[in-house]
Amino acid sequence: MTDMVEWLRGAIDGAELAAEQATSGPWVAHSPGFVDVEPVSRGRFVAMAAEVNADGSHVPLVLADAEHIALHDPKAVLARCVGDRKTLSLHRLDGAAEGRLRGFCVHCGWRFPCPDVRNLAHNGYGYREAE
Ligand SMILES: [Zn+2]
C-alpha cells in the first residue's frame, strides 16, 4: 500500500509550500487577539482571531485563538515537515526483502505501512481510507 505514502508525501509537500508562501515569522499573538510578525514594531499584521456570528456581527477577539495561530507559524510548519519526512525515511518498505519477508517496514518490522506511517497519515494530515 504505497498510495498512502504517496498521498502523505504530497500532503507534506503541500504543507511546506503553504508555509513557504506565508509571511515569514516568527509570529506572535497579543491581546486582544491579533497575530503579528515579531518584532511587532515592524508592523506586519498576519491575522485577527475573531468569531463571526451567523448575522455577520463580530464577537470580541479571542486571544487563545491568536496564540494557537501563532504556534503554527511557517517556521513551525516547516520544522514539522522536516520531522515528518525523517519519519518517512526511517519507516519505509523493505524493497530488498523477498518471500514472506516482503511487505514489512525496515525500521520497526511491522507490516507496511506500519503504525507510525499510518498514524502520521491519519492523525497528522487527515488521510482517509478509500471506501
Ligand atoms: Zn515502521
What is the per-residue pLDDT across 58-79, written as a single tens digit (0 to 9) for each? Answer: 778 889 999 999 999 999 999 9
Query: How many domains are there within the chain?
Result: 1
Q: CA 122, CA 52: separation in Å to the nearest integer?
A: 30
Ligand 1 centroid – CA 71 distance (Å): 28
Burial of 127 (0-12, 13-18, 19+ CB in 10 A): middle
Ligand 1 centroid – CA 95 distance (Å): 13
pLDDT under 70: residue ranges of the chain: 1-2, 131
Classify 33 in phi/psi space as left (phi over 0), alpha (psi -120 to 50) or beta: left
- Asked whether residue 121 is domain-assigned, the answer is no
**In 3-state terms, the chain is what percent helix, strand and coil (to 5)?**
45, 20, 35
> What are phi and psi for residue 45, nearest 5 degrees?
-85, 135
- Asked whether residue 112 is domain-assigned, the answer is no
Q: Which amino acid is at 114?
A: C
Ligand 1 centroid – CA 43 distance (Å): 45
Say whether 58 sits in a helix, a strand or coil: strand
Model confidence, pTM: 0.85
Task: Return the C-alpha cell found at 2.
Answer: 504505497
Q: Which pLDDT belongs to residue 94?
A: 85
Q: Which pLDDT belongs to residue 131?
A: 58
Ligand 1 centroid – CA 8 distance (Å): 14
Q: Which pLDDT belongs to residue 2?
A: 64
- Asked whether residue 28 is domain-assigned, the answer is yes
Ligand 1 centroid – CA 14 distance (Å): 23
What range does the domain containing 59 cover?
Answer: 3-92
- Asked whether residue 53 is domain-assigned, the answer is yes
Residue range 45-56, pLDDT digits in tens = 889 888 888 888
